[in-house]
Chains A and B, each alone.
Chain A
């Protein structure tokens, strides 16, 4: 029997990036806000200390910062004709847990989707005609534009102290920046990070080939920085233990380093950790969320009434919670009807290694978003006529560190073990760069999320089931990017290169990215989307769903910048409009 608690104005389910952003915004508006996080409290000096943070085995291979799958995981399969089996070990994507979520172990890569990315369907239709979008490709336009989000991208970039160089200031292209980006109103808050040797060699070769290299925008502060909330971040020291690790000296942006010092002082904000929400509760007519039910670490259940219910957990957990709570119509791939679980997408990546004999690159010096990139082949920045795919991605050399268990780039022909392997790695470890490609994934009718019929989590509830594979569109696009990467890699002047294209079906084992998107997408039409442009549920107006669940398809960029901008956009609508007419739809259905 759940103990009923006193009501709160707003309850947030999950306390990572979107939870912290929304909590800060709503408490500023005077609301009494409660955040429920099933993981632990974590903070820099006690949990991410630089006295032991540089532990590759513990953090990358034993997954100490990530979600424990014995508690909760998902099942995966490439096609509906297969039986989904549990993802028993983390691989392809690294789910976060605890305060700060995956925002604690991310790279800090902060991008803005292109203006055309927000209108992927109409833009590609207009430029390339109907044949460019196969029937089973279910991409949709976002209901917002780049211009709608511009001030909110800016807000997140200034919150984090992003280090970068603007490429388009109010329509004027700036040298040294990304000429393809959407127009921004002002420069980045911090100058770019110092660029190590490998990425500069890429930049030089790319420029010689007529491409447009620029420094990757990084939520790794290039200098000590105080953000608009008054929170202080330190200077990045290029330690090389960034992504998959937590930052030990306050220089990587996270909820802890950008928002929590201010938020955790407020009397109208409460955080409860080790409190797992098991259900969003609805009124009898299903049109109002009355609050949530959660359990603590002892298994005791509590009913938490709230005026406003906001799902701010990771996309996969948000979707599962909607399904388990019976909210919205579950998606059926056979009919194409329903919206919850629809348009799941991901990211497709590849790389080309460059081996030098004469250049010491010291690849162990790194930061999560440190590198030189080109967007010449991202989005619709190039003519796709005759190529057989839409979308694109960025190409570049990111130097994030070279932890030795993870980093075994050996040339073609070198075996994976034995004397020849050893000779190769001893010779090449310090002198190898990797040109990466990071490509979009379009939504497809057969890629979706639902509940698994067989497997259960530690609480006995059905796991989420993920049915996903790359389609021809993604493979053609990724191969194209790999070829472009190889051209530049050759021009970098090494002894040899080795291309590592992404082949075959999506494999859950090798780490790729934690860029899962979709499942409760935003849109203009309740028949084909779960939320409106403000992330407000069409069916339940006092329920908002934050995160990359909103993406109708993924673009060729890391999602966090756009996720944060959408969160600020929604928060603004809640503060200025929703709270004045609470429980009302912000967009007529």
Chain B
């Protein structure tokens, strides 16, 4: 088990200070200092509390996200679904933290729709975008007595997702459905393939599926091993089972 600090503030979804992103050090001056170094100090990542409860998603939002994850990356013989991999938990923690708040994004107004080439212009950071979009999707689907997304049949869900992807779902209000689908798919892929310290890719299952060896650093022995299967199992930043003394 790694010794990382688990950021309780992010887990509880509270306020400003961040997972791995409190504000940087104060201005410093270096003269004939050499390469400044401190023992026992590094910019290691903050692992996420993986206990199975949501801190950001409401129950309705979680239902939508879990159902969407199950269709975007379904379970089959090749590997787990995005739900089984932990993508919903991953996304929950991301939206509760600095990413959700858009801490690195430029969020000053005025906000405009933008051309097809001007990128993300939503007036919300990712957390707000998900929130507004899920709400708009729910209203769109349940208008006139329809079932919400998570209670529809798989084929029906796929059809809706395809419409959303193509920009054919008219959600009304400010939510750009096509832009939201892009964000959602991107986040689900992140949750499927990220390092498990963030909550997704649990058991390294997604990496095993494709054959990605994970957080390794020395591949010198394999550069010239043409057409040879890679012999080592994947490893995450938090390690792998073989690191523990067995028995």
Contact = CB atoms under 8 A, between A and B. Distances in A.
Interface of A: 40-41, 43, 45-47, 49-58, 61-64, 68-70, 73, 76-78, 82-83, 85-89, 91, 193-197, 200, 235, 237-241, 248-249, 256, 260-261, 264-267, 269-275, 296-298, 359-360, 362, 364-365, 402-405, 408, 416-419, 421-423, 425-426, 429-430, 454-456, 504-509
A53 B223 contact: no
Contacts of B32: 264-267, 269
Contact of A426 (B37, B41, B103, B209): B209
Contact of A57 (B27, B120, B190): B190
A529 B118 CA distance: 30
Contact of A402 (B106, B107, B189, B212): B212
A26 B80 CA distance: 58
Interface stretch (B58-66, B139-147, B214-222): B214-222
Given A46-B38, A509-B120, 18 more contacts: A41-B28, A52-B44, A55-B195, A57-B195, A76-B118, A86-B106, A91-B119, A194-B220, A195-B223, A238-B219, A238-B220, A264-B34, A269-B32, A272-B28, A272-B30, A273-B29, A404-B206, A505-B116
Contact of B30 (A51, A83, A271, A456): A271
Looking at chain A's contact residues, is the secondary structure mostly helix, strand, loop, or mixed? loop
Contacts of B226: 196-197, 200, 359-360
Given A56-B194, A418-B158, A194 B212 contact: no
Nearest to B215: A54
Contacts of A426: 78-79, 209-210
B38 A85 contact: no
Interface of B: 20, 24-38, 41-45, 71-74, 76, 78-79, 99, 102-108, 110, 112, 114-121, 158, 161, 165, 185, 188-190, 193-195, 198, 206-207, 209-220, 222-230, 237
A49 B223 contact: no
B24 A274 contact: yes
Nearest to B68: A417
A196 B224 contact: yes
A85 B227 contact: no
Contact of A429 (B27, B189, B211): B211
Contacts of B188: 417
Contact of B72 (A41, A364, A418, A454): A418
Looking at chain B's contact residues, is the secondary structure mostly helix, strand, loop, or mixed? loop
A83 B73 CA distance: 38
A195 B45 CA distance: 33
B106 A271 contact: no
23 contacts: A43-B36, A45-B42, A47-B43, A52-B44, A58-B20, A70-B107, A88-B105, A194-B224, A195-B224, A270-B29, A272-B27, A274-B25, A360-B227, A365-B223, A404-B212, A418-B71, A418-B74, A422-B73, A426-B209, A430-B211, A505-B116, A508-B119, A509-B119
Contact of A55 (B28, B30, B34, B215): B215
Contacts of B211: 429-430
A88 B74 CA distance: 32
Nearest to B24: A40
Nearest to B184: A417
A297 B25 CA distance: 9
B116 A57 contact: no
B34 A49 contact: no
A421 B79 CA distance: 12
A197 B119 contact: no
Contact of B222 (A89, A264, A362): A362
B72 A51 contact: no
Contacts of B45: 52, 55, 58
A197 B118 CA distance: 38
Nearest to B206: A404
A456 B108 contact: yes
B106 A73 contact: yes
B26 A274 contact: yes
A49 B30 contact: no
A426 B73 CA distance: 12
A51 B4 CA distance: 12
B108 A455 contact: yes
Contacts of A77: 115, 118
Nearest to A194: B223
| Residue with the greatest number of chain B CB neighbours at <10 A, chosen from A86, A237, A241, A419 | A86
A273 B207 contact: no
A274 B28 contact: yes
Contacts of A365: 219, 222-223
A446 B229 CA distance: 51
A57 B94 CA distance: 11
| Residue with the greatest number of chain B CB neighbours at <10 A, chosen from A364, A454, A507 | A364
Contacts of B198: 57
| Residue with the greatest number of chain A CB neighbours at <10 A, chosen from B31, B41, B121, B213 | B31
B217 A239 contact: yes
A497 B206 CA distance: 25
Nearest to B212: A404
A266 B32 CA distance: 5
B44 A51 contact: yes
6 cross-chain pairs, A with B, having the tightest CB-CB distances, nearest first:
A274-B27, A54-B215, A429-B210, A404-B193, A296-B27, A507-B117
Contacts of B41: 46
Contacts of A58: 20, 45
B26 A430 contact: no
Contact of B223 (A62, A238, A507): A238
Given A240-B219, A270-B30, A364 B121 contact: no
A229 B76 CA distance: 57
Contacts of B106: 69-70, 73, 86-89
A294 B195 CA distance: 40
A197 B219 CA distance: 14
A453 to B, nearest CB: 12
Nearest to B235: A54
B65 to A, nearest CB: 14
Nearest to A507: B117
Contacts of B115: 77-78, 82, 505
Nearest to A99: B30
A345 B107 CA distance: 27
Contacts of A82: 115
B111 to A, nearest CB: 8
Contact of A86 (B72, B108, B194): B108
Given A89-B120, A298-B27, A62 B104 contact: yes
Nearest to A50: B217
B47 to A, nearest CB: 11
Given A70-B107, A239-B218, A264-B35, A40 B118 contact: no
B177 to A, nearest CB: 15
Given A55-B215, A194-B223, A239-B219, A45 B105 contact: no
